[in-house]
Chain A
């Protein structure tokens, strides 16, 4: 429990700092913008709490500051000056190479599957192939859910998922306690 506690602690700290950093010039942002900022800062804080040890955290941060992102400036502001962002630099390069590898592997696999289905079509009814298909489908879904999931192979996908789930839980707990605390203050 202590490790989870310190994770929450760190997350909260970084979240507050992120919120601080990306204060807006206009005082009354719309509620959706506020929500976006809150969520983004929370996500980035959660990812940075991992300090680059996990793939999903790196991918999340890299995603937040990549060029095509609408909130890039926001994320950059949250992350702070460029001197502190030592963790995010190595992600895009590695990710691209890995992505190519994954793509080529997928092409190979698909061609082999096509060959296999041509040769032995009636055996598709075997439970093993069905199971493989199902598991593969779910793996795809999982990959789409986890940030940077496309870059992981089977085993690391599961590990990353676990870490991501833990972080998400911590994040949800902290946010929930904040929300309830604020509600109490409103009542008083």
Chain B
């Protein structure tokens, strides 16, 4: 499945988006329905509770033993952490960041255009330890008939049901915190403090996000900056109640997988800033950060190119005319014959050296006669400039 995805080209934004989201959801469903196939290297298996246990949890929310029993999953998950090396998924990073939220939404039947946000909020709610009033409201949204989603939904529903009791809230809290220390869970009864539900919920969520942050910081080495960003965002928006989104025990496998894929990508790419944490608001945050950073890079690079020392030795005249003379079609670059003296043409002149060597042979293969030193830098340019006449002929018009 990942191989098929990596072979998918990107003809257009629209169809590919939907197509890939469907593929992604299919992938997810396949992975969900086959939990036992992977070993510990795939955290889907780690996070996947066996069906019987899920049912038990669902039907006996006040039972503490089951919470304890599921704690080792978190422990395993934390201990033997391994990013799923789906290269196909990793390559399509930006797209996946969105379709982690969207793909799941598209799978569920949505009638209104705003349903996506509603469903994503429902997704968020699944992990949120909200008051019992929420359980009823969000359950209709998550009633999805597909079998594959049922596991996720059931787990999330049981999370919500568990969340209705303060004791289980604390239990999951403790599980979070103890996931980093102990394999078992101490549960403190907090029944007497039921009146102070708000502060209790707040504290629970704060503890959860702290534990979550610590976990993330352990997992990803260079992640402190991004986590600092998110903390700042949290505080500025006062999202304390949504902190439960970041719970690692959030058994929404969908988000977890995309999340760790992005961490893997982040580890691999030093320059680009593509970490991601689940949740629609956070996904949007990440996207916004990414767009802003890219725009800033464009500004900076254009400034840098403007400072290029202009050498007016060459001009594009000699750059293009020999090409058009020998190997290109006649009508390819009609505007190229215009004489030009451009201060930045020094850069073009650099390319020109290579191009002269080019079309003495064929146009496709760049020749590195003179400058083998800068191969890796100019490879891109020259391959870019190997004008494939069949593909790009005559398409100069804007």
Contact = CB atoms under 8 A, between A and B. Distances in A.
Contacts of A179: 301, 304-305, 308
B117 A10 contact: no
Contact of A168 (B91, B239, B294, B336): B294
Interface stretch (A66-74, A90-98, A113-121, A131-139): A131-139
Chain A interface, DSSP helix/strand/loop, else mixed: helix
Interface in B170-205: none
B230 to A, nearest CB: 13
Interface band, chain A: 35 or more
A162 B392 contact: no
A102 interface: no
A130 B242 contact: yes
Given A132-B121, A186-B309, A16 B348 contact: yes
Contacts of B122: 128
B12 interface: yes
B161 to A, nearest CB: 16
A3 B9 contact: yes
Interface in A9-24: 9-10, 12-14, 16-17, 19-21, 23
B242 A84 contact: no
Interface stretch (B142-150, B217-225, B379-387): B379-387
Contacts of B378: 177, 181, 184
B284 A165 contact: no
Nearest to B379: A177
A184 B120 contact: no
A12 B384 contact: yes
Given A134-B242, A164-B291, A171-B298, A177 B398 contact: no
Contacts of B84: none
A158 B98 contact: yes
Interface stretch (B29-37, B57-65, B123-131): B123-131
Query: Which size bracket describes the interface of B in this complex?
Result: 35 or more
Interface stretch (B38-46, B321-329, B338-346, B361-369): B338-346
Given A42-B298, A79-B398, A162-B95, A2 B9 contact: yes
B392 A38 contact: no
B117 A23 contact: no
Contacts of B239: 130, 134
Contact of B303 (A10, A35, A136, A163): A35
Nearest to A41: B302
A110 to B, nearest CB: 15
B278 to A, nearest CB: 13
A168 B298 contact: yes
Given A126-B134, A138-B281, A31 B384 contact: no
B10 A145 contact: no
Contacts of A180: 377
Contact of B121 (A6, A84, A131): A131
A17 B396 contact: yes
B140 interface: no
Contacts of A17: 335-336, 396
A4 B10 contact: yes
A111 interface: no
A80 B305 contact: no
Interface string B288-303: 1011101101110111
A23 B363 CA distance: 28
Given A3-B11, A80-B397, A184-B374, A176 B344 contact: no
Contacts of A6: 391-392
Contact of B384 (A8, A78, A171): A8
Given A17-B335, A29-B343, 19 more contacts: A8-B380, A16-B348, A35-B305, A42-B298, A127-B130, A128-B121, A128-B122, A131-B121, A132-B117, A137-B237, A138-B288, A142-B291, A159-B17, A166-B10, A174-B384, A178-B305, A181-B347, A181-B350, A182-B350
15 contacts: A20-B316, A31-B306, A42-B298, A86-B397, A127-B241, A128-B121, A131-B120, A131-B242, A154-B116, A155-B113, A162-B17, A166-B94, A171-B298, A177-B380, A181-B377
